[in-house]
Amino acid sequence: MSDSLFADASKRLEEAMKYVAISDDALEHLKYPKSSLAVSIPVRMDDGSLKIFQGYRVRYDDTRGPTKGGVRYHPNVCMDEVQSLAFWMTFKCAVLNLPFGGAKGGITLNPKELSKMELERLSRGYVDAIADFIGPDIDIPAPDVYTNPMIMGWMMDQYNIIRRQITPAVVTGKPISMGGSLGRDTATATGAFYAIQIIMPKFDKLPEDTTVAIQGFGNAGAWLAELLFTAGYKVVAVSDSQGGIYAKNGLDIPRIRQYKTSSKGIKALYCQDTVCDIADNQSITNEELLALDVDILIPAALENQITQENVNDVKAKFIFEVANGPVASGADKILEERGIYVFPDILVNAGGVTVSYFEWVQNRSGLYWTLEEVNQRLRQKMVEETEHIWKISQELAISMRTAAYVHALHRLGEAINAKGTRDYYINGGMS
């Protein structure tokens, strides 16, 4: 366990515990996931062969409400990763004060190697395997790495078939035509953009004087790049899994996004091309992007991108975590000692789960909001919680990550304690 991602994720609490009066019962409760499920998913492939895929779903904590979390399709998916992501989701929901606990799911595969029909059979097979583990009042899946609205639509439809009823609130991130929320597909990026807009003026940084590098040009990274570009920030580098591009005077982000989404970039469900094929910009590696001398570095790909091995190469003054867990715990202290501000994933990328909550609310009520209403509500949430965490950070002289965990622990501790603690029972109940 000492080398696991979950053990590394759990270390985030150690520093926060110094600043929170939380019961032993609550601490004990948060050490372990509520339930974990591993399933085998048989899929008939297009060539007639049968292939078994390994799937997972972890519900970490449901003290504050039904659990919530995405489903990722990736070769590195394993129980340790899924449990860690569910742990982070627990705190993310508490940070944004959502009535959810944390969950996560995934299937171990390279989705780019499957046809659309194989992906559909796999997605429906996953729901067949976990149908008794999920539900609108139990656990609500959503998109994550290499999953999208179409895949969420397949999952919801399969759940409907199994239950013999229409249950749109079982899954969020669905197509709009199936009950999805406006703004959900861009929510992670939009929430991160709001956080950046709230934080940077505190350091007297104007957009036109601020350089940005973004690792990860998937849905969140690409949309955030365009939002920043439109707001006047100088986005000088972006990358995807194959490599990246750099331009000292700034990149033409709309052109790069168009390239990625044009017919020469996406001809199937997943993109086969890479941003580094655009010839009139300097090609760089993902490692070189992380070491660029920029104002803002945005890791928007996968976890553990900045570790003790490469942390000293980082030159950015501010890091906004759009990916989950991109900075390893061992690198945190070094960045702090070097005066580099890290704004944590459980705050910065919480726009996705926040608008998933909005989608769930809309599904349950049958009343649907305009895009303007969704973004206004999201901005209100992000401003309120970012300012609250900034205040904790300043008052206690602690990092924004520690402040976010302090904020979340207060809310989780109160909810757990409300069910009764050792002190409550030993001291005679309500007396």
Write out the catalytic residue numbers. Answer: 104
Q: Would you state the pLDDT for residue 171?
A: 97
Q: Would you state the pLDDT for residue 401?
A: 93
E strand intervals along 313-375: 318-320, 341-343
Provide the whole-model pTM. Answer: 0.87
Q: Would you state the pLDDT for residue 219?
A: 83
CA 316 → CA 40, 253, 339, distances in Å?
A: 43, 20, 10
| Order of strands, sheet of 234-240, starting from the edge strand that comes earlier in the sequence | 282-284, 243-246, 234-240, 211-215, 296-299, 318-320, 341-343
CA 396 → CA 192, 213, 409, distances in Å?
A: 24, 30, 15
CA distance 212 to 409: 32
Domains, the chain, ranges and CATH?
A: 34-178 (3.40.50.10860), 187-348 (3.40.50.720)
Please check whether residue 288 is in contact with residue 314, taking contact to mean a CB–CB distance below 8 angstroms: no
Q: What is the per-residue pLDDT across 290-338, written as a single tens digit (0 to 9) for each?
A: 999 999 999 998 888 899 899 999 999 999 999 988 998 889 889 999 9
- What token pair was written down for 113? 């190697």
Those residues of the chain that have pLDDT short of 50 are 1-2, 263-273, 278-279, 430-431
Please check whether residue 46 is in contact with residue 118, taking contact to mean a CB–CB distance below 8 angstroms: yes
- What token pair was written down for 306? 């900045």
- Residue for token digits 């394993």? 78
CA distance 102 to 100: 7
Q: What is the per-residue pLDDT across 14-50, written as a single tens digit (0 to 9) for each?
A: 778 888 888 878 888 888 899 999 999 999 999 999 9
Q: Would you state the pLDDT for residue 327?
A: 92
